[in-house]
Amino acid sequence: MKLFYRKSGQGQPLIILHGLFGQCDNWNTLAKQFAENGFEVYCVDQRNHGLSPHSDVWNYQVMSEDILELINDNQLQNVILLGHSMGGKVAMQFAVDHEQLLDKLIVVDIAPKYYSMHHQQVLEALQSVDFDKVKSRKEAEEILSKFISDFGTKQFLLKNLYWKTETELAWRFNLKVIVEQIENVGEALITNTSCTVPALFIRGEKSNYILDEDIHSIQDIFPHFELTTIADAGHWVHAEKPKEFFDFVIRFLKL
């Protein structure tokens, strides 16, 4: 699949992959910083998200192959791959499938293990927005507020609203397929081998996505890894602590 992406900067290629319900625009500020520090940044919309095509096929294997197609189309070499949450799983899958194409791997707040489905409330909220009746962002926000109290989560989701026509709003992500195949997001990494690419795993201190007990499973697959914990940050560590996040990543990239 030909993915939509925004390209900036010059130098070693750095591909950034967002998480579930995200889009490349979520990474604009950090992408600009990386571009200003000697990297050719490809900020990607993954399939069924943002401005990339929608598809009924949605799993980590095909998302990994989407990244391979992007790399081949742009004739990229010595690639750095950075992914958050769902994007981190895609990055890990790509790393074990195509290790020879990577220089370094950065995985943000996700482990290679299985995660039980825990997005029920968000999915219920999104499905409750009836665009036959909802005709403004404010109306959509009011409906989401019935299910979601966290302001940041609501704003994150609302960034996906767009005018499909002059009078009809819609979500940029493929909500139908996401709802039908949400279990795929929790799937464990598919591999029977290890990847020797240097890997940086970053977790938020307040997040429970990477636990101390997960370190052994990470090490089994990515033996040349390091784990960094950013203080006072949750799952969206790059958005909550952007300076600390950038500093840790750039140090790893400059090694």
User: What residues are annotated to the active site?
Assistant: 85, 235
Helix (H, G, I), strand (E, B) or coil at 86: helix
Distance (Å, whole) CA 113 – CA 212? 13
Cα separation values, 167 from 131, 134, 141, 142, 163, Å = 10, 10, 18, 19, 7
DSSP reduced 3-state for 172 = coil
Phi-psi region of 108 (alpha: psi -120 to 50; beta: other; left: phi over 0): beta
Crossing angle of helices 60-73 and 86-97, in 10° steps, is 70
Going from the C-alpha of 50 to that of each of 6, 20, 103, 138, 254, the distances in angstroms are 12, 11, 27, 21, 30
| Residues composing the chain | 255
Compute CA distances 189 → 70, 137, 221, whole Å: 21, 37, 10
- Name residues whose C-beta falls within 8 Å of residue 64's C-beta, 6 or more positions apart in sequence: 90, 93, 94, 97, 98
Instruction: Report the C-alpha gap between 9 and 254 in whole angstroms.
Output: 16
Burial class of residue 166, CB neighbours in 10 A (0-12, 13-18, 19+):
exposed
d(CA 221, CA 215) in angstroms, rounded, equals 10
